[in-house]
Amino acid sequence: MGFRQTIILPLSIPFKKEVFGITKHINACALDNRQTEEVNLDDPYTVPYRGIYAVCDAKNEYAEIIEHSNCYSGAAWSLYHYAKSPLILKARSTGNMIRYFMKTGTSNLELKPSVAAAGIESVIVQGDEVEITYAGLGGGGVGATRCRAFADGVLHYRISESGGERCAKGTVVVPRRDRILIGIDDTDSKDVGATWTLTHNIARQLDCQESVYLSHSLVQLFPVPEKTQNCMSTVLEFGCVDDKAKSKLLSSFKKALEKYSASKETGLVVLSDFYAKGLYSYSNRCRTERVLKEDSLRCAEENNVEVLLDGNGVIGALASLPWFGRPEESIIPGTEIKPMCMEKTS
């Protein structure tokens, strides 16, 4: 099948672009003189993060600091250096999200240029707020102060002067969040739909400061005869500031799913938990063998999982929950999910 494009000049007028029978209107315009003369920057040395989120366990002993970057290379630099901070047990990236799994408390950073040039000094939970203190040398100090202080969702901050040869320090205060995991399966039919697209679009609509949309993972299941095609379920991860935010999120999500699902066997389950470790064994079974619905409902009850829609899709929906934030692993058939390491790893 060929590619056909029709352009109507001048460029300031909208034109049509037809690709594989899909017509899309695109507004194109030429650069005006102002855009070619000079660049004016209000704050040339600050690249604010899109958001910084703190998800905590029930006892506030552990936290996962999740940073949504606007400049991935800068965030990758942070990932390399911050991973050496004493409090951080594990650090990894998921797309443009950098995730630091760590103990709460305070540590002493030994900053060294080019080797360990920045880090997280402390994470302190105080009621419904989390205080995160960063420190860094040179450009790392700019990231530790202004770039993070001006992130969406930061309640307030304290920062020192940064840049050049300075050693800088910054403290940001963000809402304390609980992790809310939503598992979904069987929203499509033989003729229409895809669970991963529907769930992502709903999640984006419901994303807000009270209930932040953190991750989306597709989970490969054992291919049973009832599957539509690829036998995949989906887990969504949100960070909610309180029970009211959680209740509103789940009510809206369920209504949207019921409105747009193309299947009568949709499964929708919810778990409020930092790890979802009680479901590891069950999930591994669902990825290697056929599991009965009765077993799924029993497992959900034993692990305090709320079943909001109990179609046959509940089997895969429940199996998806432990795979939050692991989209590269969850898509590989038969991959076994392993317990989270609670000790510092290199």
**Assigned token pair, 90:** 């594990």
Q: Residue 29 class from Cβ within 10 Å (0-12 exposed, 13-18 middle, 19+ buried)?
A: exposed
What is the Cα–Cα distance from 147 to 302, expressed in whole angstroms? 44
pLDDT tens sequence across 256-278: 999 999 889 999 999 999 999 99
pLDDT at 17: 43
What is the Cα–Cα distance from 63 to 101, expressed in whole angstroms? 6
Within 13 Å of residue 233, how many CA atoms lie on the same side as its CB?
A: 31
In eight-state DSSP terms, residue 264 is: S
The answer to whether 177 and 261 are in contact (CB under 8 A) is: no
- The set of residues, in sequence order, having a beta carbon less than 8 Å from that of 268 and lying 6+ positions away, is 182, 183, 184, 253, 254, 257, 307, 308, 309, 313, 314, 317
- The set of residues, in sequence order, having a beta carbon less than 8 Å from that of 265 and lying 6+ positions away, is 186, 226, 311, 312, 313
What is the Cα–Cα distance from 4 to 24, expressed in whole angstroms? 12
Within 13 Å of residue 295, how many CA atoms lie on the same side as its CB?
A: 13
What is the Cα–Cα distance from 292 to 250, expressed in whole angstroms? 26
Mean pLDDT of 96-120: 92
What is the Cα–Cα distance from 63 to 88, expressed in whole angstroms? 10
Structural domains of the chain ordered from first start: 47-174 (no CATH), 185-329 (3.30.70.2200)
Tokens 């240029």, located at residue: 113
Mean pLDDT of 302-311: 97
What pTM, to 2 d.p., does this model score?
0.86
pLDDT at 327: 85
pLDDT at 5: 46
Residue 14 binned pLDDT confidence (cut-offs 50, 70, 90): very low
pLDDT at 317: 96
Helix (H, G, I), strand (E, B) or coil at 144: helix
Comparison of pLDDT for 245 and 110, the residue scoring more: 245
pLDDT at 181: 98
Kind of pairing, strands 51-56 and 167-185?
A: parallel
pLDDT tens sequence across 54-103: 999 999 999 999 999 999 999 999 999 999 999 999 999 998 999 999 99
